[in-house]
Chain A
Amino acid sequence: MKRIISVLLENQSGSLSRVVGLFSQRGYNIDSLTVAPTEDATLSRLTLTTHCDDVITQQLTKQLNKLVDVVKVLDLTDGAHIERELMLLKVRASGAAREEIKRCVDIFRGQIVDVGPTTYVVQLAGNSSKLDSFIEALGDAIILEVVRTGVSGIVRGEKSLKL
């Protein structure tokens, strides 16, 4: 099943490569990976998504915890959580299609953030399946370019991943 794993990591050179290296070294797949510093500049927050069974997930979180630079690891999929991904799309928009695309963007609550003579750049945030649906709704024919950030996630309620 799909797993969203959050990692609090020392914000040091080489830390990220240890995490990424672990995946290739142990044969785990990464579907997406996002990383950025937190409000505490010495820490980075990393969210990765992967598909694996419970045994592998357990081993994966243990291996992540074993890395000296890793401060904390949390499998968000264990409980209620929010996941978000941001996507930017460049689409071919000319003639009648311009209106049609605009309507579709509105339905998905996206925004058109750049307008060119024959193109739009659309911004859309949501969970991964919503983004997938939007791509499907537009159809491959008019999509020129897709950029997705990968999933970021956070636990609902009181619990939080911090020092």
Chain B
Amino acid sequence: MELLSGGEILIRALHDAGVKHLWGYPGGAVLHIYDALFRQDDVKHILMRHEQAAVHAADAYARATGEVGATLVTSGPGATNAITGIATAYMDSIPIVVVSGQVPQEKIGEDAFQETDMIGVSRPVVKHSFLVKNPADIAETIAKAFYIASSGRPGPVVVDIPKDVTDPNTKVPYHFPDKIKIRSYQPSVRGHAGQIKRAVNLLVSAKRPVIYAGGGVVLGNASAQLIELAKKLNYPVTNTLMGLGGFPGTDKQFLGMLGMHGTFEANTAMHHADVILAIGARFDDRVTNSVDKFCPSAKIIHIDVDPSSISKTVQVDIPIVGPCQSVLNDMIALLGGIKDKPDESAIADWWLQIGGWRERYGLYTKPRYEPSDGKLIKPQDAVKALYKVTEGNAYITSDVGQHQMFAAQYYLFDKPRQWFNSGGLGTMGYGLPAAMGVQMARPGAQVACITGEGSIQMCIQELSACTQHQLPVKIIILNNQALGMVKQWQDMQYGSRYSHVLYEDSLPDFVKLAEAYGHIGLRVNHLDELESGLEECFSHKDRVVILDINVDQYEHVYPMLIAPGSMRDMWLNKTERT
């Protein structure tokens, strides 16, 4: 058997686990590993400019491909910098493996240089973690880490490796296990047949049904099944922020996103529904508004691979623990076999009612924001123009804030794994490194990061890594000269006292900034330049372009759920509410 050092074993094991791209940043505790990386060509390392960005990029790479993303960071500050990225992946259930260096075992606990208890620090934000104490354990640990990260409800796994374990002078036999079995970890692979039958019976008896589909549909590759089921039943579908693209955004059965900034029709339909089929969604507080007023007349079916997601906040009537894809397949098969069919006239009435809501306040029947004066660019118009110029085909990442909500509302995603954002943790700074991860996974594709002038500055250093690794992402800044979402809340709840959301003329010149990094910078100030600006931006296929769009500084995101309240309680614009 071949003898390898711990560092060599790690890289070999990552390769055997399917890693093609490793996002990382070197340092003292991982020097042996980086030397092993240098001496091989199987795993391509992408040097980032900050560990947080390295994790975000691996996370987005995982979201884009469905594979496990991989990151390598050093001990101490390398590890702690990675935490925000890990927490982001944890909240959105993204499969990544983060390998962190650690000080040598004999130094652990001595407050050694760049020592941090990574297992301890990361514990609340990982699915699992390992401390490797012996080079002979590395390969199996990596195999386990990838298995845990990608199975069941996916999530981040940390593998902490003390420096002595990767010592080039200690060589041990290499063996990568073909199969992993962990006696204490057996994720569900199939839904309970009896529960599925009960669910199907309830579903066909519905008169005002809504299918509420979340990120689990995207992560569980169940989009085709969701579409098939929804088409068979002719039931309306709404997606969560994480689920966008799981059901085609342009489909007539699609109600738009639900929740805090969901559409009027989606939220109102949820409130009036008699049966809700929740698929891979977790009744997040940004969806439900007040839990005690949530969907008062609905019987709820909940499909989720994670039992702890079920009845966590909202008590459900028919829980089904299992992967979305297999459960939906079972439901579709059952639907064909049973006598009962959906009540077509009730469903037709329901669609009529939904049509009325759409007509009244729907985001897609007519513009619901004050139109531009012909000069000023509305952020909504910017996203719509982006949609038009990219023909709805671009991969879109976003940061966090108003721009994120406008992107979610106005870029209609027709495919799963087309939309990337930090939905759970709400991490500003996610957008640019995420775009890099997506671009690496989809070479040649149009990848755009919709961001704000606030968020982009949280990971802007990666403009340099874009150059080095030839990742020609397009950065669309909806520049409203303020931390817009916070400012919106200050408008609505704090008497427009703009506490520390303005920059007082300190913003950088994003055009010059782009140029300083060797990229192209463009600026658009007027509505009539918007489309041509976007077209020019995307005409530079092999270049990074920052398009700085000056947008209306006073725009708010609507609809907006009113807390405390039910899902039908919404602000529709600055003056009107339901």
Question: Chain A interface (Cβ within 8 Å of chain B)?
Answer: 10, 13-14, 17-18, 21, 25, 55, 58-59, 62-63, 65-66, 68-71, 163
Given the known interface contacts A14-B119, A18-B123, A21-B123, the answer about A68 and B128 at a Cβ–Cβ threshold of 8 Å is yes
Q: In the complex, A17 Cα to B122 Cα: how many Å?
A: 12
**Contact for B129 among A14, A25, A59, A163, CB less than 8 A:** A14
Stretch at the interface among B239-247, B271-279, B304-312: B304-312
Contact among A62, A63, A71 with B183 in the assembled complex (CB-CB below 8 Å): A71
CB distance from B39 to the nearest CB of A (A): 32
Most buried by B among A59, A65, A68, A69: A68
Whether A13 and B307, one on each chain, are in contact in the complex, defined by CB atoms closer than 8 angstroms, is no
Chain B residues in the interface with A (C-beta under 8 A): 119-120, 123-124, 127-129, 131, 148, 182-185, 306-308, 310-312, 315
With the chains together, A69 CA to B315 CA distance in Å?
Answer: 28
Tell whether, in the assembled complex, residue B184 and residue A59 are in contact, meaning their CB atoms are under 8 Å apart: no
Closest to A42 in B: B183
Cβ of A63: which chain B residues have Cβ within 8 Å of it? 308
User: In angstroms, how far is the closest chain A Cβ from the Cβ of B459?
Assistant: 27
Shortest beta-carbon distance from A101 to chain B in Å: 44
A65 CA / B184 CA spacing, docked (Å): 9
B124 x A65 contact (CB < 8 A): no
Give 18 A-B contacts (CB < 8 Å), ordered by A residue.
A13-B131, A14-B129, A14-B131, A17-B120, A17-B123, A18-B123, A21-B123, A25-B124, A55-B315, A59-B308, A59-B312, A65-B307, A66-B308, A68-B148, A68-B185, A69-B128, A69-B184, A71-B184
Alpha-carbon gap, A62 to B312, bound state (A): 10
Q: Which 4 residue pairs are nearest across A and B when measured between Cβ atoms? A: A62-B308, A68-B128, A71-B184, A68-B185
| B123 & A58 in contact (Cβ 8 Å cutoff) | no
Is B184's CB under 8 angstroms from A70's CB? yes
Contacts of B128 in A (CB 8 A): 68-69
In angstroms, Cα B184 to Cα A163, docked, is 9
Closest to B306 in A: A66
Task: Report the minimum CB–CB distance from B148 to chain A (whole Å).
Answer: 6
Q: Which A residues touch B184, using CB under 8 A?
A: 10, 68-71
By a CB distance below 8 angstroms, the chain B residues around A58 are: 311
Q: Which of B182, B307, B311, B315 contacts A68 (CB 8 A)?
A: B182
Which B-chain residue is minimally distant from A62 (CB atoms)?
B308
**B185, closest chain A residue (CB):** A68
Minimum distance in angstroms from B277 CB to a CB of chain A: 21
Interchain CA distance A106-B381 in the complex, whole Å: 85
- Seed contacts A14-B119, A62-B307, A68-B182; 7 additional CB < 8 Å A-B pairs: A21-B123, A21-B124, A25-B124, A59-B311, A59-B312, A68-B128, A71-B183
- In the bound complex, what is the Cα–Cα distance between A63 and B312 (angstroms)? 10
Q: Measured between alpha carbons, how far is A152 from B493 in the docked complex, in Å?
A: 52
* Chain B residue contacts of A25, Cβ below 8 A: 124
| Complex CA distance for A82 and B124, rounded to whole angstroms | 33
Collect the chain A residues with CB atoms within 8 Å of residue B123's CB.
Answer: 17-18, 21
Contacting residues, chain A, for B129 (C-beta < 8 A): 14
CB distance from A38 to the nearest CB of B (A): 14
Complex Cα distance, B311 from A71, in Å, reads 22
Which residues from B are CB-within-8-Å of A66? 306-308
The answer for the CA separation of A19 and B98 in the assembled complex, in Å, is: 22
A163 to B307 alpha-carbon distance, docked (Å): 21
CB distance from B180 to the nearest CB of A (A): 12
Residues in B whose Cβ lies below 8 Å from that of A17: 120, 123
CA A31 – CA B467 in complex, angstroms? Answer: 56
Q: How far is the CA of A63 from the CA of B306 in the complex (A)?
A: 10
A68: chain B residues within 8 A (beta carbon): 127-128, 148, 182, 184-185
Contacts of A59 in B (CB 8 A): 308, 311-312
Distance A13 CA – B133 CA, assembled complex (angstroms): 11
Which residues of the other chain, B, contact A71 by a CB distance below 8 angstroms?
183-184
Specify which chain B residues have a CB less than 8 angstroms from the CB of A13 in the assembled complex. Answer: 131
Closest to B309 in A: A62
Residue of B nearest to A63 (CB): B308
Contacts of A62 in B (CB 8 A): 307-308, 310
CB of A24 to closest CB in B, whole Å: 9
> Given the complex, which residues of A lie within 8 Å of B306, measured CB to CB?
66
Of A18, A21, A65, the most chain B CB neighbours within 10 A belong to A18
